[in-house]
Amino acid sequence: MADRAKPDRIPDPQDSLIVLSGCGTSGRLAFFITSGFNRELRRLNQGAICLYIIAGGDRALFSSQEAPEDDPILGSLSLRKVSEGKKRVLFIGISCGLSAPFVAGQLDVCLQHPDVYTPVLIGFNPAHQARKEPIPGCTFTFHSVVERMQELSKMQKAFLINPALGPEAISGSSRMKGGSATKILLEVVFSAAHAANSSRTPILYKYRMKSYKQALDVTYSQAEGIAALMEAAGHSLQCGRRVCYLGWGSLGLLGLIDASECKPTFGADYEDIRGFVSGGYKELGNKEGDLNLMGCEFGITHDDFLNSVLPCLTDKDMVLLLYSHSGNQWELSTKLLLNAVSTGAHIFKGKVYQNYMIDLQVTNSKLYHRATRLLQTLSGRSESQCEEALLKAIYQVDKLTEDMMTCHLKTHTDAAGKGEKVVPLALVCLLTGCSVKEAKSLLERKAIIREAVEECLLKYTSSKGLKETRESEDKKLREAGSLMM
Ligand code: F1P
């Protein structure tokens, strides 16, 4: 963007605003980037012009709040609220899978008011794979919003930044590659814009990409050390103990972010992997300030660690210290390492089968559909059979009532949030034909979910036909190359 027009001074924050917004990891990275950029502006005695929005508010920065992602009205209202009275707003919506209705609602506001808003969308699927599912109560889908953006982008009134990254190592876990790419992209764009603004000349910014490549090389040159950490963290989780990230500065924030993602991805408890940061909320400078009163999981300071965790630590727990003497140079490396440690630990714990998250939470529409597709892939059954099994597992019944079958998807995802091991339960029922109660006791007997699933699959897939279906499904998924949704 920086090499097109002669840049102006950084606009006056009274009139103008840059808003970064997203759900889950994407919202947390919006916070991460705006904090860093505003800090830099303040250091240069310039007004902080950047704001973040995260679906579900600040509590979603440090805990899993997946439901607000489905709400486009909430998205549009939150954007309207922060941009009240502004003359120019650069809106950057982040949705790795080009899928979040919350962000679609915000982009729709921008497209309706081009006099005020310039919309930018960041994601990592090709535009034609943006989510096409109707959004309840809306005339638009994510896909139709992307199409409108594409039209406007021809006149440079909207910008779509969507390099394809290919599938994630754990299918759908966009916190990993997707999150890292979001961080790199936004940092490069912001630094370039800032440098162009300071020098008052257009800048082509290439050198910074080299430093990211170096960070990757340095990180993965330590593969053995990383593997050892993953194994140690895995052992802690396997024996019901915990992993703590005790961090300072931006690396500490990356620890909080990594920990908060484990709940929706692996059905983890917040105590399994938990982050603490020096200075807590005061240091982070989040919009809503101290969230401690919201509950134990919002105790994020080192003091909280000292008071509530340290007294009960054993040598089976793992505590990782995250700090650096050289500013933010180690951020990407730290993110990659933490993603590897938490993912690896949950693989050890048996929360992953092949590259599928088999105990994901089903707490929004995207995760509901992801779970249904996963059941189809693993069982070879039809979509309707898999959805029925999922609902039975959600409501813990063997026969669905009329109400259960006809109510709104939100009722299902709310109910799913209260249950445990919903997807493994549905899978065992599908594969064995047993009741929900029997599936529950089978899973209780096997402490490791992957082993229970493997055992059922082994019995069930001995029929050659199913094996072939699954192999061809796997092949299709591998070839799709864009599995962010
Ligand atoms: C947003 C997100 C992910 C999270 C999980 C649920 O996805 O919250 O960050 O890991 O998959 O969805 P997106 O809108 O960035 O695609």
Q: What is the pLDDT of residue 448?
A: 93
Q: How far is the CA of 374 from the centre of ligand 1 (A)?
A: 17
Dihedral over Cα of 390, 394, 400, 401: its sign: negative
Is 100's C-beta closer than 6 angstroms to any atom of ligand 1?
yes
Q: How far is the CA of 326 from the centre of ligand 1 (A)?
A: 31
Q: What is the pLDDT of residue 196?
A: 80
What tokens were used for 293? 């009163």
Is 99's C-beta closer than 6 angstroms to any atom of ligand 1?
yes
Is 24's C-beta closer than 6 angstroms to any atom of ligand 1?
yes
* From 142, 145, 174, mutation site for ligand 1 pocket: most ligand atoms within 8 A of C-beta: 174
Q: What is the pLDDT of residue 470?
A: 58
Is 388's C-beta closer than 6 angstroms to any atom of ligand 1?
no
Q: How far is the CA of 98 from the centre of ligand 1 (A)?
A: 10
Q: How far separated are the first and last CA of the chain, in Å rounded?
A: 27
Residues 6 or more apart whose CB falls under 8 angstroms from that of 15 comprise 86, 87, 88
The pLDDT averaged over each successive group of 10 residues in the chain (485 residues) is 45 87 98 94 89 98 96 98 97 98 98 97 97 96 98 97 94 96 95 81 72 94 97 97 97 98 96 98 97 96 98 97 87 97 97 96 97 96 97 97 95 96 96 95 92 89 58 55 46
Residue 112: closest CA among 85, 84, 80, 135 = 80
Q: How far is the CA of 484 from the centre of ligand 1 (A)?
A: 8
- Distance of alpha carbon 401 from its chain centroid, rounded? 33
Is 96's C-beta closer than 6 angstroms to any atom of ligand 1?
yes
Ligand 1 atom with minimal separation from the 25 CA: 9
Q: How far is the CA of 362 from the centre of ligand 1 (A)?
A: 12
Q: What is the pLDDT of residue 464?
A: 47
Is 362's C-beta closer than 6 angstroms to any atom of ligand 1?
no
Q: What is the pLDDT of residue 209?
A: 84
Q: Scan for tokens 């979001």, then name that residue.
A: 182
Q: What is the pLDDT of residue 201?
A: 74
Q: What is the pLDDT of residue 96?
A: 98
The predicted complex's ipTM stands at 0.95
Question: CA-to-CA distance for 49 and 18, rounded, in angstroms?
Answer: 6
Is 25's C-beta closer than 6 angstroms to any atom of ligand 1?
yes
Task: Please report the domains of the chain, with CATH numbers, ordered by start residue.
Answer: 7-203 (3.40.50.10490), 205-353 (3.40.50.12620), 361-466 (1.10.8.1080)
Q: What is the pLDDT of residue 2?
A: 38
Q: What is the pLDDT of residue 227?
A: 97
